[in-house]
Structure formats: structure tokens, C-alpha cells
Amino acid sequence: MAISRRDRSFSKIINEVDVETIPVHFIKRLKLYLDDGSIIVIDQDEVQKVDSIEELLLSLQVAKQITDMSIELDYDGIESDVTEQVTNLLNKDDKS
């Protein structure tokens, strides 16, 4: 399974993280490769309608035909979320 990465410093940090689960709100696009050679592209709007990738895959009629998938992450969203959480954490220390 491929995860598309941009060549930026924040992306380099992401490369170092061992990802076991990806929250669906950080998925920009999902490409499913089927055993007949065709590719199904699922955009962010559709991915956001489910709670997990597994739920999405099981809901598809072609689930048994999937041989591989590629996940394109929303790096801007991840960076924004991490920055906000770190800022909040640091601000909590300042208030103590």
C-alpha cells in the first residue's frame, strides 16, 4: 500500500512516524487497484462519510477484487492539527 508524500520538511517528520491507523479526516484521496487492472479513485468527500477505511472497503461491491491501494494524505490538515495541538499544549504550560 502506497502513501503519497510531498517533499517538505513536515512530510519528512511524517516519514519517521510509524502509522498503524490513519484517521479518515486526513485522507485526501484513496486509489483502489483491482485485479482486472482497473483503478477506482475515491475522493475526500466520499471517504469522510465513513468512520474507517475498513468500513469503506467493506461497503464496496468490488471489495474482493482489490489487490492494492494508495492513500494520499492531507498534509496541510495534518500540519494544522499538529500545530494547533502543540500550541495548545505549550499554552497550557504557560498558564500554570
Q: What pLDDT, in 10s, does the model give residues 25-78?
A: 888 999 999 999 999 999 999 998 998 888 988 899 999 999 999 989 888 888
The pTM score is 0.66
Q: Within the chain, what is the greatest distance between any pair of CA atoms?
A: 60
Place of cell 475522493: 43
Q: Which residues, listed in sequence order, are joined to residue 27 by a DSSP beta bridge?
A: 73
The more confidently predicted of residues 15 and 25 is 25
E strands within 18-95?
Answer: 27-34, 39-43, 66-73
d(CA 74, CA 33): 20
